[in-house]
A and B are shown apart, each in its own frame.
Chain A
């Protein structure tokens, strides 16, 4: 038997799941798509007493774009990637999902699962921070909304309490003239990123950059905004010298670390390269409208 012994509870609905989490708290782990938790169980890195299986919770399903844009935490990554709604009004999500694992992994993995797992090299936390998404978090006694910028604390650590469940993701709808890009470096398609960058920006009618949001991931304990680089770019027309200045600032602002996957020096170098490419791609994206229409 691969995993260490545990007890298994299948939650029948959201109320039941929250009651189970209230009862067992830190002794329980939530099982959604299982694409991160199951490897940890099989390797016995995680040995919870109780598994709470939430896969059957219909309340956490669906993509709702009636007033704002809300995505249930249990929506499969592959379904979000192929969702016409998200491709049309929040295209950064499908773009980022193409980097998440492999298609069969995305057929099982959920949006909420990847966000709550908070792997430092994961793409979804990075784009959530870049877009200022918000998370609806429920417990048996309370419900709160937490901005993505305040949700991720450190590697595999979030502000979720043991009795709480991430139930819904509130996504901003892409604004006119907004463009975005995500790029990462990994050894093979689907591997964990060694360095990654997300850019969301608007290009004004004369081509100057506005509302620039830059997030680096797979560079430290959590994805984070790179605000000094953002400030360097804000209001400028990108040319060779301004991009070179931004790269210098990027080098200074990113405290990349060594690990078994890559050295800090390698990370800083490739980050500069993908930063330039992502900036070009995001700017081009902002110049063309949804579905490739010229703005």
Chain B
């Protein structure tokens, strides 16, 4: 899909590793990372909700840290590594966190789920055995409008207790 561009718009070259594969692209400097991942790379597991950092649905990892891809410009990922939900698991090969979400019914419509899964894995890397309160605090930046959060919290606690070693 091509993005509408203005003729006067500055472009820049970036070399980036996305889900383990390094490539180079020319991007408009004001393209957000979220739009780059979705429109240029077709990684539609990156979901856009609010586009100003409130809902958390577009969370990806940049150099292993969780990042809202709507709050980053594509030029900023030059020389860095990005991981999206497509780099975490596949329908036939679910990541243990994805399995836990399925087992605990930690999703309904699924819109917030890719970002929930990525953020939850980040949490367990930082705090391998979190309390329920720590889970709720860490996940507070990711909004879900379906589940009421309880089953999401259950899934993360289950992943921590049963699946271990998510890193």
Q: A1-B3, A42-B51, A55-B76 in contact; A34/B31 too (CB < 8 A)?
A: no
Q: In the complex, what distance in Å separates the CA atom of A35 from the CA atom of B66?
A: 13
Decide: B75 and A53 in contact? CB cutoff 8 A.
Answer: yes
Q: In the complex, what distance in Å separates the CA atom of A107 from the CA atom of B126?
A: 12
Decide: A108 and B9 in contact? CB cutoff 8 A.
Answer: no
Decide: A105 and B68 in contact? CB cutoff 8 A.
Answer: yes
Q: In the complex, what distance in Å separates the CA atom of A37 from the CA atom of B66?
A: 18
Across the interface, name the chain A residue whose C-beta is closest to B74: A8
Decide: B6 and A5 in contact? CB cutoff 8 A.
Answer: yes
Q: Which residues of A contact B30 (CB under 8 A)?
A: 1-6, 8, 41
Closest Cβ of chain A to B107, distance in Å, is 19
Q: A35-B53, A188-B140, A190-B140 in contact; A8/B31 too (CB < 8 A)?
A: no
Q: Could you mark each residue 119-145 of chain B with 1 if its beta carbon is under 8 Å from any beta carbon of chain A, else 0? A: 100110010000000001110111000
Q: In the complex, what distance in Å separates the CA atom of A264 from the CA atom of B101?
A: 43
Q: Which residues of B contact A147 (CB under 8 A)?
A: none
Indicate whether B104 reaches chain A with its CB closer than 8 angstroms: no
Decide: A104 and B122 in contact? CB cutoff 8 A.
Answer: yes
Q: Which residues of B contact A43 (CB under 8 A)?
A: 52
Across the interface, name the chain B residue whose C-beta is closest to A39: B52
Interface size on B, residues (CB 8 A): 41
Q: In the complex, what distance in Å separates the CA atom of A206 from the CA atom of B137?
A: 38
Indicate whether A7 reaches chain B with its CB closer than 8 angstroms: yes
Interface size on A, residues (CB 8 A): 33
Q: In the complex, what distance in Å separates the CA atom of A103 from the CA atom of B67?
A: 10
Q: A42-B70, A53-B76 in contact; A102/B28 too (CB < 8 A)?
A: no
Q: Which residues of B contact A102 (CB under 8 A)?
A: 56, 138, 140-142
Indicate whether B43 reaches chain A with its CB closer than 8 angstroms: no
Decide: A107 and B6 in contact? CB cutoff 8 A.
Answer: no
Chain A residues numbered 13-57 whose CB sits less than 8 Å from any CB in chain B: 31, 34-35, 38-39, 41-43, 51, 53, 55
Q: In the complex, what distance in Å separates the CA atom of A133 from the CA atom of B2?
A: 49
Closest Cβ of chain B to A39, distance in Å, is 4
Indicate whether B29 reaches chain A with its CB closer than 8 angstroms: yes
With beta carbons under 8 angstroms apart, the residue of B10, B62, B68, B70 that contacts A7 is: B10
Q: Could you mark each residue 27-70 of chain B with 1 if its beta carbon is under 8 Å from any beta carbon of chain A, else 0? A: 01111100100000000000000011100100100100111101
Decide: A8 and B52 in contact? CB cutoff 8 A.
Answer: no
Chain B residues numbered 1-38 whose CB sits less than 8 Å from any CB in chain A: 3-6, 8-10, 12, 28-32, 35
Q: A34-B76, A105-B53 in contact; A2/B32 too (CB < 8 A)?
A: yes
Of residues B10, B141, B142, which shows the largest number of chain A Cβ atoms within 10 Å of its Cβ? B141
Q: Which residues of A contact B52 (CB under 8 A)?
A: 38-39, 42-43
Of residues A34, A35, A41, A53, which shows the largest number of chain B Cβ atoms within 10 Å of its Cβ? A34
Decide: B29 and A8 in contact? CB cutoff 8 A.
Answer: yes
Q: Which residues of B contact A8 (CB under 8 A)?
A: 10, 12, 29-30, 73, 75
Indicate whether B88 reaches chain A with its CB closer than 8 angstroms: no
Q: In the complex, what distance in Å separates the CA atom of A189 from the CA atom of B67?
A: 18
Indicate whether B71 reaches chain A with its CB closer than 8 angstroms: yes
Q: In the complex, what distance in Å separates the CA atom of A180 from the CA atom of B65?
A: 30
Decide: B29 and A6 in contact? CB cutoff 8 A.
Answer: yes
Decide: A42 and B76 in contact? CB cutoff 8 A.
Answer: no
> Can you give 11 contacting A-B residue pairs, CB < 8 Å?
A1-B5, A1-B31, A5-B6, A6-B29, A7-B10, A10-B78, A34-B76, A53-B76, A104-B65, A107-B67, A107-B122
- CB within 8 Å of B: which residues of A? 1-8, 10, 31, 34-35, 38-39, 41-43, 51, 53, 55, 76, 78, 82, 101-105, 107-108, 188-190
